[in-house]
Amino acid sequence: MPASVKVAFVGVWFQAVANAFGAFALLYEVNARLDHGQEVPNLGLVRGLLYLSAAVAVVLVICGILAPRRYRWVRAVVLSIEAVVVLNVLFGLVFGGGLPMVVGLVLALVIGSVLLTDKGLEWFNR
């Protein structure tokens, strides 16, 4: 695996861990609020998005595990997730997101740009 692709997948693993940690930490917070009788606005939407975040973390882990096997679909899935991340971050920045969102944007752009290079394309075209 080329070094640039390895670096990109270190970023993928970081995203997977961050998504999983964030999703489960926020699910814990939502459940704690409910246990203490506090209201959680848009509870169904919040839980749905947190479960979706956990599912994306699982997909990223699967892609990270299978990247050395050079499956073409791994690259397509990671690029699709990074495109959604970029749109999400841009949307979040419009509505007042801060520095963590910029870090997420840079990470997504770096991963996407590496996988779009000739080395990234060549690695996943076996």
pTM above 0.75, yes or no: yes
Answer whether residue 105 shows pLDDT above 80: yes
Q: Look at residue 125 in the predicted model and tell me its pLDDT.
A: 87
Q: Taken in order 89, 49, 114, 104, is the CA torsion positive or negative?
A: positive
Q: Does the structure show a pLDDT above 90 at 9?
A: yes
Instruction: Check whether 118 has a pLDDT greater than 80.
Output: yes
Q: Are 10 and 117 in contact (CB under 8 A)?
A: no
pLDDT of residue 112: 94
pLDDT higher than threshold 80 for residue 96: no
